């Protein structure tokens, strides 16, 4: 199972890198959907996630006295490079890296897809993500609060994908594309208008 997840991760990293080749400076500086970070900083964050093993990650957590936001900021700053071209080069260098923090492999797939959308959406890019990858992520995020409180957002609701076979939970329904469900579960409010159902008001309020 992990081998297939890594294949999906590598494919998403490669697709994102290809999308960014012709980015302008204005696009690199654009605010991403990841609050407080530019497009270029999100890419550096992805590079850090594929570069720092558990020992390095935990050392950073200790150094920042368990301030996880500070740790994220420090790690991505190391991967920004001299300019945007260098940031992209560093990301390409870890395209097939299996290095990760002490998190499940599926969480790394989540990083690859969710942060790619953090970059693509505000810069007008679109990707037809594999339904397999999105379905795996929808199942993961709807059942786990490890990375973000996504399971808490889904609790007591029935989530249903309109473009795949993902369904989970019971109660008032929230329906939409698998991508919109994944992104909304991870706190990206920009995707909420793409959802519908009698459970949407409760879901959005969370």
Domains and CATH numbers, the chain: 1-123 (no CATH), 132-205 (3.30.1050)
pTM: 0.90
Given this model, what pLDDT does residue 102 score? 86
Cα–Cα distance between 32 and 103 in angstroms, integer? 24
- Summarised one tens digit per residue, pLDDT across range 71-110 is 666 676 677 889 999 999 999 999 999 999 889 999 999 9
- What's the whole-number average pLDDT of the chain? 91
CB within 8 Å of 19: residues ≥ 6 apart? 120, 125, 127
Which of the four pLDDT bands, split at 50, 70 and 90, describes residue 138?
Answer: very high
User: What was the pLDDT predicted at 75?
Assistant: 74
Share of the chain above pLDDT 90, in %: 79
Tens-place pLDDT, residues 35-70? 899 999 999 999 999 987 665 655 555 565 554 565
Question: For strand 173-176 and strand 158-161, is the pairing parallel, antiparallel, or unpaired?
Answer: parallel
Core vs surface per residue 168-192: b (16+ CB within 10 A) or e: bbeeebbbbbbbbbbbbbbbbeebe
CA distances from 56 to 13, 71, 99, 102, 169 (A): 22, 11, 11, 11, 37
- pLDDT recorded at residue 41: 94
């Amino acid at each position: 199972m992990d081998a297939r997840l890594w294949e999906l991760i590598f494919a998403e990293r490669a697709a994102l890198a290809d999308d960014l080749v012709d980015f302008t400076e204005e696009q690199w500086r654009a605010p991403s959907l990841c609050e407080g970070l530019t497009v270029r900083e999100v890419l550096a964050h992805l590079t850090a996630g594929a570069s720092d093993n558990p020992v390095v990650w935990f050392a950073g957590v200790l150094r920042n006295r368990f301030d996880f936001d500070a740790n994220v900021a420090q790690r991505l700053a190391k991967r920004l490079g001299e300019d945007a071209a260098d940031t992209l080069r560093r990301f390409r260098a870890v395209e097939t890296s299996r290095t990760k923090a002490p998190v499940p492999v599926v969480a790394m797939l989540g990083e690859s897809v969710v942060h790619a959308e953090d970059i693509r959406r505000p810069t007008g890019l679109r990707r037809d993500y594999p339904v397999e990858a999105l379905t795996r992520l929808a199942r993961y995020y709807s059942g786990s609060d490890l990375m973000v409180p996504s399971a808490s957002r889904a609790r007591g609701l029935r989530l249903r994908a309109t473009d795949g076979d993902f369904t989970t939970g019971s109660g008032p329904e929230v329906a939409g594309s698998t991508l919109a469900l994944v992104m909304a579960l991870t706190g990206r409010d920009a995707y909420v208008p793409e959802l519908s159902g009698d459970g949407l008001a409760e879901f959005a309020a969370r």
